[in-house]
Amino acid sequence: MPGWRKSRRLPLAGTWAPLPLAKSPSSLVVSCIGKPIASAMANCTVPIWGSQDLTLERLHAIAAVLAGAGDDAESLDVQEEDRAIKRPSSDLPIPLTALIGREQERAALCTLLQRSEVRLLTLTGTAGVGKTRLALQVAMELMHDFADGVHFISLAPLSDPALVIPTIVYSMGLMENGSQPLLDLLKTSLHDKHQLLLLDNFEHVITTAPRLSELLEACPALKLLVTSREVLRLRGEHQFAVLPLALPDPRRIPDDRSLIHVPAVDLFLQRAQAVRADFHLTPDNARAITEICLRLDGLPLAIELAAARAKLLAPQALLARLERRLHVLTGGARDLPLRQRTLRNTLAWSYELLSEEEQHLFQRISAFTGGATLEAIEALCEALGDKTGRVFDGVASLLDKSLLYQQA
């Protein structure tokens, strides 16, 4: 996370003064302050700086004094309690490993979410591609852009879409007041909040999506960042497809020093070193590691599961076994969600969310190991006696659900 913002303008006594600020997780810390303000402060007898951090609340109080709205020290004495309430808050889980790559995606997503018209942003992508990881990073980076903070809500454990609104209400610590419907309570509580909610894993509760629109309509300063294997298909939704990590060019594998900086390879190395401290990239294993990453399409979860096997198998041996991917990619960490501990579970989670008709089409398409054109899929279905009129819609739906992807 970059520690610095370039410059932020704060309204000060009716004028604007550029104020470069350093970001810290819990408060804004003075880095340097514009001259006009500093000279105004010279005439101010109030002990403003002391050893306290300069928070937005203190700045507003100072601005009020300078504007003549208050002229005693008390108006600057922002109570600790108030500061704790107003300070941008976050309950984002802190990842236990470093984020690899994703510089462009981070920048693009931050820019999108900073645009006032972008209120609902959905990160889509296939199982284990890194949607949650990226969303967490972006939410962390934007924490100080939301006066009322950012809030993380994991929807993965829910079995019933009807539980989405109650889960949001309870995880935000809102109090039920008897007869009021929970969606109304949420609308009232969030109405004047400048807040970002990160709703993680929406695909299996997607039928609740229209409630999100209602919430956004009722709460003008609220924004939602959603991760989902399937697009929500709501008006005003901005979709962002998360693609696998960058891979080395198989035709021209770079030397070891460059290879280490290719995100998919970097991820493999970092996870392999976590289970075997003496694991290194060498001229002997560089090609096998590259091929493992290519074989796994740069998919972070699959790479992590493969790298966990480096404890037992040299990359060359691991590569040979990847012919039977679902049998090898099974040793996920115990603190991963169950659906991510094996590749089979990960795929099953998506597959089970398909309708019967979509499952049938997906089975047909899996006959094409290297991909297929729409025409080829239609021809196969026709030859096998399926209703071809529905193939187009079916393929579109599998694309929306991130079970197929389109190559340029």
Ligand X SMILES: Nc1ncnc2c1ncn2[C@@H]1O[C@H](COP(=O)(O)OP(=O)(O)OP(=O)(O)O)[C@@H](O)[C@H]1O
Among Mg ion, ligand X, none, the one that 56 touches (CB under a kind-dependent 5 to 8 A) is none
Among Mg ion, ligand X, none, the one that 248 touches (CB under a kind-dependent 5 to 8 A) is none
- For the record, the structure tokens of 177 come out as 């007041």
How many positions of this chain bind ligand X (CB under 6 A)?
A: 23
Residue 329 near residue 302 (C-beta atoms within 8 A): yes
Residue 394 near residue 357 (C-beta atoms within 8 A): yes
Query: Using CB atoms, what's the residue nearest to ligand X?
Result: 130
Which run of H or of E encompasses 241?
strand 237-241
Site map 318..347 versus ligand X, x via CB under 6 A: ---------------------xx-----x-
Of the ranges 113-121, 130-138, 176-184, 252-260, which one interacts with ligand X (CB under 6 A)? 130-138
Of the ranges 32-40, 62-70, 96-104, 320-328, which one interacts with ligand X (CB under 6 A)? 96-104
Query: In terms of C-beta density within 10 A (0-12 exposed, 13-18 middle, 19 or more buried), how is residue 365 classed?
Result: buried
Other beta carbons within 10 Å of 177: 8
Distance from the Cα of residue 81 to its chain's centroid: 31
CB of 70 to ligand X, least distance (A): 48
Rounded distance between C-alpha atoms, residue 11 and residue 188, angstroms: 28
Site map 81..120 versus Mg ion, x via CB under 5 A: ----------------------------------------
CB of 340 to ligand X, least distance (A): 5
Pick from 150, 147, 241: nearest CA to 199: 150
Residues 127-166 contacting Mg ion, CB under 5 A: 131-132
301 lies in the site for ligand X, by CB under 6 A: yes
Residue 295 near residue 323 (C-beta atoms within 8 A): no
Of the ranges 46-54, 95-103, 315-323, 362-370, which one interacts with ligand X (CB under 6 A)? 95-103
132 lies in the site for ligand X, by CB under 6 A: yes
Q: What counts of helices (H) and strands (E) characterise the chain?
A: 18, 9
CB of 248 to ligand X, least distance (A): 16
Rounded distance between C-alpha atoms, residue 313 and residue 264, angstroms: 19
Q: Which residues pair with 12 in a beta bridge?
A: 15
Cα torsion 271, 272, 274, 279: sign: negative
Pick from 92, 174, 169: nearest CA to 134: 92
300 lies in the site for ligand X, by CB under 6 A: yes
How many positions of this chain bind Mg ion (CB under 5 A)?
A: 2
- For the record, the structure tokens of 46 come out as 């109030």
* 222-228 vs 195-200, strand pairing mode: parallel
Residue 338 near residue 345 (C-beta atoms within 8 A): yes
125 lies in the site for ligand X, by CB under 6 A: yes
228 lies in the site for Mg ion, by CB under 5 A: no
Among 58, 87, 119, 131, binds ligand X (CB under 6 A): 131
Site map 226..245 versus ligand X, x via CB under 6 A: -x-x----------------
Complex with ligand X: residue 187 or 204, whichever CB lies closer: 204
Q: Which residues pair with 157 in a beta bridge?
A: none
354 lies in the site for ligand X, by CB under 6 A: no
- Binding positions for Mg ion, rule: CB under 5 A: 131-132
- Binding positions for ligand X, rule: CB under 6 A: 97, 99-102, 125, 127-133, 201, 227, 229, 267, 300-301, 304, 339-340, 346
